[in-house]
């Protein structure tokens, strides 16, 4: 493989944006890829995948390269050199890459791979937290799985099509996908591809949504005609799934504290043909109070550490801290107590996170059930989904019912 200067410089600039300017990896990649319209799909793939790889393995590569944060431009080239050497890519004769100790890099890699925090490239505090929460065996297996490349999974928009028809339609556009047993509306791509440029996507026939995430909305047990609230809707992947399960009948209210996310949801809902969905910005406590005991179903897809989706967002592990974890736990506790008040008598609620930590999951539900607000609820069922056993994202979901 021949390295091209403008692509490697793009990678280095992307790393600078992520580690020195605090920009999320997905946004940094998006901005870098807009730089040069002449870049083809292979060039763009190289930039995106290399940035994500170096972000994912930052701790291991930094240890091998003997560089410490804050990284300067020279450091980023050294991280890139480690990435290239470990992939057997010949380094060009550029001044930024001269004197790269190829043999030493391989030796250090073998040596550090015996230690989990380096092998899986994770901060000390997070490694300790994971071991304490899940135990050595489960944490080691899960952490390894969360460093693997996530498959691309689509969810059929049943308001517009069926899964067999979508599969056929994608094949006509050159995209081959498999059905996934146990996930009725999911298709897994055989090879990575930019599905957003397909006509099928523009027509709203599908959304990109991991298989584990596709289990959340069905657990809420919605049906046409109900009043359903998605309390932390964000850009609305699960809201759109709920609209499809409700067959566009009934009322679906998508709430969030971020106006830009709800704006994006409106755009997606239009493309999906989801007409029973309305968005409401939580700009005061009145928004929730007005819905007290008015909802048949409430989904709380709570803000969380996102540890279950590290494969997609590897920069998360560098942005998290022990302090931010404590704040997240407090927020989850408050959301459960406040938003559960929207559930009417006999109504159901799902609490879900894309985390694998018990303190964000089953322990939050236990605490809620023992609280004043939770005493009229009972736990119907819960699911712990781990990446190492499912092959998909790590998730937790609990179905609760008010008596």
Active-site residues: which are they? 354
Residues 188-202: b if buried by 16+ CB within 10 A, e if exposed:
bbeeebebeebebbe
Query: Distance of CA 327 to CAs 320, 321, 333, 334, Å?
Result: 11, 10, 10, 11
Whether the CB-CB separation of 244 and 186 falls below 8 Å is answered with no
235: phi then psi, degrees, rounded to nearest 5: -85, 0
Distance between CA 37 and CA 47 in Å, rounded?
14
Start-to-end CA distance of the chain, whole Å, equals 63
With 0-12 / 13-18 / 19 or more C-beta atoms within 10 angstroms meaning exposed / middle / buried, residue 324 is exposed
Which value, in Å, is the radius of gyration of the alpha carbons in the chain? 23
Helix-strand-coil percent breakdown of the chain, rounded to 5?
50, 15, 35
């Amino acid at each position: 493989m021949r390295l091209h200067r403008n692509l490697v410089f793009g990678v280095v600039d992307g790393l600078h944006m992520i580690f020195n300017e605090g920009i999320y990896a997905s946004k940094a990649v998006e901005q870098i890829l807009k730089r040069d319209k002449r870049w083809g799909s292979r060039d763009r793939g190289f930039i995106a995948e290399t940035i994500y790889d170096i972000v994912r393995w930052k701790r291991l590569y930094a240890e091998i390269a003997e560089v410490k944060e804050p990284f300067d431009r020279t450091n980023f080239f050294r991280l890139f050199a480690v990435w290239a050497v470990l992939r057997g890519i010949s380094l060009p004769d550029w001044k930024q890459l001269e004197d790269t100790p190829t043999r030493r890099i391989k030796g250090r890699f073998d040596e550090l791979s015996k230690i989990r925090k380096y092998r899986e490239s994770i901060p000390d505090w997070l490694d300790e937290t994971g071991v304490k929460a899940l135990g050595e065996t489960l944490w080691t297996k899960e952490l390894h799985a969360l460093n693997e490349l996530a498959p691309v999974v689509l969810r059929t928009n049943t308001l517009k099509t069926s899964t067999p028809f979508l599969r056929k339609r994608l094949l006509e556009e050159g995209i081959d996908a498999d059905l996934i047993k146990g996930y009725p509306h999911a298709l897994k791509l055989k090879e990575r591809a930019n599905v957003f440029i397909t006509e099928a996507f523009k027509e709203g026939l599908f959304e990109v949504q991991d298989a584990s995430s596709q289990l959340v909305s069905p657990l809420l047990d919605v049906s046409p005609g109900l009043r359903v609230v998605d309390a932390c809707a964000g850009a609305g992947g699960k809201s759109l799934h709920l609209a499809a399960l409700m067959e566009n009948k009934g009322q679906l209210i998508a709430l969030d504290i971020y106006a830009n996310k709800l704006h994006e949801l409106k755009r997606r809902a239009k493309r999906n043909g989801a007409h029973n969905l309305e968005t409401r910005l939580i700009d005061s406590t009145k928004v929730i109070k007005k819905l007290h005991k008015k909802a048949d179903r409430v989904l709380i897809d709570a803000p969380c550490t996102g540890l279950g989706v590290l494969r997609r967002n590897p920069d998360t592990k560098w942005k998290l801290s022990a302090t931010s974890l404590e704040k997240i736990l407090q927020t989850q506790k408050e959301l459960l107590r406040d938003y559960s008040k929207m559930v009417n008598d006999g109504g159901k609620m799902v609490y879900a996170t894309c985390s694998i930590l018990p303190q964000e999951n089953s322990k939050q539900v236990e605490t809620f059930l023992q609280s004043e607000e939770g005493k009229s609820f009972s736990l119907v069922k819960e699911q712990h989904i781990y990446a190492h056993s499912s092959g998909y994202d790590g998730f937790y979901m609990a179905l609760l019912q008010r008596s």
